[in-house]
Amino acid sequence: MPRRARRMSDYGYMHVIVRGIGRQILFEDKNDYMHYLRKLEQYCIETNIKVSAYCLMENHVHLLVHGEPEMIILLMKKIGVSYSSYFNKKYDRVGHLFQDRYLSEPIENDVYLLTVFRYILKNPQKAGICSPAHYNWSSYKLYEEESEFLDLSLIQKMLGSKTKYDKFILDSNDDDLCLDYDGNRHDDEWAKEVIAECLGISTGTMLQNYSKAERNSAIIKLKKSGLSARQIERLTGIGRNIVNNIVK
């Protein structure tokens, strides 16, 4: 069966996830992390792809990238082949290093861009390793750094100062991601418009008549479009615990 074509983003940003095959460890020591980052920078420059966030975990990698779709594909091919060769040679192993194709998810709006941005940088905290501020292998500390392959200009425009950035990333309440970036939340009128546009229904309570699978899919779509769990609860009548279990 031929592989399904990747969904690419008209907005220009993609969330890319690379995993070790069979949970294979990708980074045995600090030199491995450093080598991957050097290659990431090199191939981003070669393909004219910019990185807005990265986080290298022991057996997987998260990247937030933007650029031409075909160049993102080329970037991931280059770094996959190069790093696999490096790792296999260094550790005297053979065979595939990465799990099948890398995963990619298109990002289509500002709200979801910041959702993914914060999700990537909070990975070490979610894994119980340390806070984002103390993790050495993510881009958390590079918010104000100038680099040839990093570009946070859109995110900086939305978040503002380093102080506001720190607060946004370190805030423990992940349900507050649909901020209007000047400190104000999107209101329910905005949320109702999103529901109508995304789902083609006149009122959120109509989700209660959906099948469980259809309801879950719709809720995930609304969350990705920027609605908070509280808004979804208010406008659909579906309990917040149910919503959180669906989207987590």
103-159 residue pLDDT tens: 888 888 888 899 899 999 999 998 899 999 999 999 999 999 888 999 999 999 999
Is the pTM for the entire model greater than 0.75? Answer: no
- Span 35-46, average pLDDT: 97
Confidence band, pLDDT 50/70/90 cuts, at residue 192: confident
13-176: CATH, from 3.30.420.40, 3.40.50.300, 3.30.70.1290, 3.40.50.1820: 3.30.70.1290
CA distances from 42 to 20, 46, 76, 230 (A): 22, 6, 12, 43
Domain boundaries, the chain: 13-176, 188-247
Average pLDDT across the chain, whole number:
86
pLDDT tens for 205-242 read: 899 889 999 999 999 989 888 888 888 988 898 888 89
Q: How many CB atoms lie within 10 A of CB 166?
A: 15
| More confident of the two residues 94 and 101 | 94
